[in-house]
Chains A and B, each alone.
Chain A
Amino acid sequence: MSGTDYSYDEQGQFFPIFIATIVGIVTIPLTYTVLKPSSDPGATAPRIKTDYRPEHADLIDIQRKAQKKKERKLKRILTVVAGWATMAFMAYLIYVTARTIPKIWNPYDILGISDSASEREIKSHYKQLSKKYHPDKAKPDPAKNETLETINDYYVELVKAYKALTDEDIRNNFIQFGHPDGKQSFSIGIALPKFIVTDGNGKYVILVYAALLGVLLPYLVGSWWYGTQRMSKEKVLIESANNLFREYDEGLEEGGIVSALSTGLEFQNALKGDKAESGLGKLETRILAEGIATPLAGGLSTKDRTVLEDLDGGARRKALALLWAYLGRVELDDPALNQAKIEVAPIAHALNTSFTAIALAFGTTAPILASYLTGQNLLQAMPPKASPLLQLPFVTPAIAKAIEGDSRTHLSLQDYMALPEAYRKKLAVGKGLLTEAQYNTAMSVAKQLPRLQVEKAFFKVTGEKYIIPSSLVSLVVKGRFIPPGSQDIPEVNELDLEDIDPDEDDLDAILGRKKKGVKGAKPEEEKIIQPPLAFAPYFARDYSPRWHVFLTDSKQGKIAVPPFTFTTFDKPIYDESGKPTFNMQTLKAQFQAPPQAGHYTFVMHLICDSYVGFDTKMEVTLVVDEASKGADIEADDDISEPDEDSIAGQMQAMKSGVAAPPKKKKNKPESSDDEESNTEEEVEDTSDTDTDTDEE
């Protein structure tokens, strides 16, 4: 009886469970990813209301739809459906297959007494039963389908059970092995149906196994690995990123960046085969024709023109020509070309993101700004250095020129909208200009655009009065969304301009803000307000505007603090009826102060990457005081825990940018005149209320 023998799952009772589990492991997380509310801003963000339809709106709509379809994760949905179907089928199989659960031998059940019965009760009960069921006494009852044999068997069972509960040995056996006779044979089941191991099927099983391990697994791992290697962090092909890096040059301007973007490999894929050359001649004559507002219709400068003409034919040249056609809003009179023209813009926009990252790594201000401007131009389909008025519906280069008059500098949207209503209208409406209805549409759009007007920008260290060297400084930018042409703008409330620290005891708020500062400064408040999607009627994607704040050093022409990106805000921008609320928005960016005391003058750039001409550039001065100044204030503070001032601990705190916990007191009494130890203590102070009251 002893020994091990394998039993296969002949009835197929475990196999479905096994399969259902495996499928479930894959399907359930996938289901979550499919059903999870989309993070795509296009789904939830409000839109700028207008009934304006640009030329070829149908083509743009087709591309938007195609993109949505692509993003709908059709494959994933199908997998999920198949997974659930499999699981349902397996559940059905489990349900249908009668389960043969081996009955556990339980002497109490056989005797029909409770588990807690004492020995005496067992004995008396057994006597009663044995009187009744002893084979000598019991008569087989045919009505109950009893024979002598079954009666006999039943009696043997009873005796066995009784013995198990009274005899010491048997009882031990029962406790140890679950059986009165001692150890029983094992039965090891394999949850595989028997056909897998039956003779003759072995080779197929090995074949399947080899295919799984030898082909499918390497394929999956390989495709994952090369997939990650193929794309850069900015989601462009790595080779395109390499090309862009090569194209980078300190003196690059917007036009040069457009030329650089055309090196992207994505264009080669989009303009495959026949498309690489077809219509190139027509395309070039169109964009190089004489323009209205610009020397050439495509809006390219003479320099850009030579770049284009020096290129060999092929996909790159066509991509560049198409890009200029898109930027110049040049009509190409050919459905295929127009389609391609719309198609290249989102690709170029993605490539431009990569270029921005590269420019940021180089750190020179001019190309960074130029690449942000190129992003704006690509979204709004405007050539470099074109009039910002082109962002309004129905405004063509000719109309923009007529409005601006013969001026050297462009009229920004907000300046134009600030003109008196009657004069503004007189400029725009007329013969060859906008009609009354068109003008009204344009104005209604302009009055909805989110322009962030900076009211105040300053530096501070949370919970401190002075900014000491190497401390974690926050750049606080206070601004209001004032759409161009807004009237009755309320005065700035002085109280709104102040940045009040959260309660020192409110650890959550402090930590919450820290976290926010570290990862791109997204407001973590419960109510997150999304700005409306960018009004970019020519761009074939939905795009949610972003605001970038960064500091540059104007003397060196280098970037000083890399950009912090803001996509959402904590206060409503518009009320229910779509009127601007003029709420004061707070943008915060944290960075490490310079290690030496002094006055540092930075140029702060606030760039909205979706609209042309909404950028803010202003000078801000960071005053870093001597470390001793910060320490003087705290000198009264007599509670000290020098142990915690170990260099390692401080370094750690400085590095991670996380403030010391509020409990931590960090002032050594002797530190006020000791320069060295001061610098060690310049960790963000969030000491608790005692310190604070001392300060005040």
Chain B
Amino acid sequence: MFGVDWWGLALPFAYIAVLLGALVTFSSMSRKRRAAKSANLAPWFPPHLQRNIYLSLLHLEPEEGKEKAPAVPDSIIRAALLRRAVEDIHRIIQIRSAKQACSTLLQRGSVGDDLWQRFERAEKEMEEELRDVVTEVSKCSYPELGPSIFQSANEIAAGTLLRKKLQDIQSQAPAEKEWWERRRASIQSEFMKELEAPSKGGSDDDAVLVNGASNTASIRKKKGKK
């Protein structure tokens, strides 16, 4: 009565199998790809040089032939830690200023999702890093540094920034100076020409003119030196 035509049913079953198989393959592949992609996301910040220096100072390997590693003075370790904190401050400032912009841009669709992922990862890393610095300070032989380390680091960072800006401005000075020198020379030569041209007359007016010319030139000179 119920002679099931198994061969006839094979086709629908095969269809379902293929459909499900395709879906499962797709989902697993897409997951794997996404995981691989997020694992391979480029880090937000370049390698933390100051931290590496600090850690290598802390865990100095003994030199060959010697049993003990050379003792590093505490002051150097502290300085390395402070340098590390300064770099952290730089990075935190960067993250803080970028966070708002990054999220609005992501919402607008102006930047991609993986940028945000990278950003969040960097943020978490920085939190960990700060915590690590705090614990390192407490382990440090100079506990007074503890509460003030980030404050000092902040000031160092601000100072460095200011100095860099100053340097930038001062580096323009030679070029400016040169230009003013040239300018002064050209103005002077022009006045000299003017002086020579009507000097045949030799009237009083010309003398006044000469005075005026030299005056302006000297004013320019002062300005140029500034």
Contact = CB atoms under 8 A, between A and B. Distances in A.
A358 B22 CA distance: 40
Interface stretch (A165-173, A231-239, A382-390): A231-239
Contacts of B109: 232-233
Contacts of B101: 245, 248, 358, 361-363
A238 B113 CA distance: 9
B179 A241 contact: no
B15 A358 contact: no
Complex A-B, nearest 3 residue pairs according to Cβ-Cβ distance, in ascending order = A238-B112, A361-B101, A242-B115
Contact of B112 (A232, A357, A358, A363): A232
A229 interface: yes
Counting contact residues on chain A (CB < 8 A from B), the size range is 20 to 34
B111 interface: yes
Choose among B18, B112, B183 the residue with the greatest number of A CB atoms under 10 Å from its CB.
B112
A505 interface: no
A51 interface: no
B111 A238 contact: yes
A241 B11 contact: no
A285 to B, nearest CB: 24
Nearest to A209: B15
B97 interface: yes
Interface in B109-128: 109-115
A408 interface: yes
A239 B115 CA distance: 9
Nearest to B116: A242
A163 to B, nearest CB: 47
18 contacts: A214-B22, A229-B112, A229-B113, A232-B110, A233-B108, A241-B105, A241-B110, A241-B115, A245-B101, A246-B44, A248-B98, A357-B105, A361-B101, A362-B97, A363-B101, A406-B179, A406-B186, A408-B179
B36 to A, nearest CB: 17
Interface string B39-53: 000001000000000
A245 B15 contact: no
Contacts of B108: 233, 357, 361
A354 B110 contact: yes
B134 interface: no
Contact of B104 (A234, A238, A241, A361): A361
B69 interface: no
A250 B100 CA distance: 14
B1 to A, nearest CB: 23
A408 B19 CA distance: 73
Interface string A344-377: 0000000000100110011100000000000000
A206 interface: yes
B77 interface: no
B157 interface: no
Contacts of A362: 97-98, 101
A361 B110 contact: yes
B119 to A, nearest CB: 9
Interface of B: 11, 15, 18-19, 22, 44, 97-98, 100-102, 104-105, 108-115, 179, 182-183, 186
A358 B110 CA distance: 8
B158 to A, nearest CB: 14
Contacts of B186: 406
B110 A234 contact: yes
B179 A357 contact: no
Interface in A619-660: none
A206 B16 CA distance: 13
Given A206-B11, A406-B182, A406-B183, A242 B111 contact: yes
A406 B11 CA distance: 87
Contacts of A363: 101
A245 B101 CA distance: 9
B70 to A, nearest CB: 35
B110 A233 contact: yes
Choose among B100, B109, B114 the residue with the greatest number of A CB atoms under 10 Å from its CB.
B109
Nearest to A214: B22
Interface string A217-243: 000000000000100111000110110
B95 to A, nearest CB: 12
B109 to A, nearest CB: 4
A242 B182 CA distance: 46
Contacts of A242: 111-112, 114-115
A360 to B, nearest CB: 9
B105 A245 contact: yes
A229 B182 CA distance: 57
A234 B182 CA distance: 47
A229 B109 CA distance: 9
Contacts of B104: 361
Contacts of A408: 179
Nearest to A362: B101
A406 B101 CA distance: 42
A250 B97 CA distance: 10
Contacts of A248: 98, 101
Contacts of A358: 101, 105, 110-111
B198 to A, nearest CB: 23
A246 B18 CA distance: 44
Nearest to B108: A233
A358 B100 CA distance: 11
Contacts of B15: 206, 210
A357 B102 CA distance: 11
A299 B209 CA distance: 41
A296 B105 CA distance: 36
Nearest to A244: B111
A357 B19 contact: no
B71 to A, nearest CB: 38
A390 to B, nearest CB: 20
Contacts of B182: 406
Interface in A32-56: none
A358 B102 CA distance: 8
A302 B163 CA distance: 19
Given A241-B111, A250-B97, A354-B110, 11 more contacts: A206-B11, A214-B19, A214-B22, A245-B102, A245-B105, A245-B111, A245-B115, A248-B98, A248-B101, A363-B101, A408-B179
Contact of B111 (A206, A214, A232): A232
A616 B40 CA distance: 47
A410 to B, nearest CB: 14
Nearest to B186: A406
A361 B102 CA distance: 8
A234 B112 CA distance: 12
Nearest to B179: A408
A242 B112 CA distance: 6
B192 to A, nearest CB: 17
Nearest to B11: A206
B171 to A, nearest CB: 9
Nearest to A228: B109
B118 to A, nearest CB: 8
A250 B161 CA distance: 12
Contacts of B105: 241, 245, 357-358, 361
Nearest to B12: A206
Contacts of A239: 112
A357 B100 CA distance: 14
Interface string A236-277: 001101100110101000000000000000000000000000
A250 B94 CA distance: 10
Contacts of B44: 246
B179 to A, nearest CB: 7
A582 to B, nearest CB: 39
Nearest to B165: A251
Interface string A469-495: 000000000000000000000000000
A242 B22 CA distance: 33
Contacts of A361: 100-102, 104-105, 108, 110
Given A206-B15, A214-B19, A363-B101, A357 B110 contact: yes
Nearest to A363: B101
Choose among B104, B110, B113, B114 the residue with the greatest number of A CB atoms under 10 Å from its CB.
B110
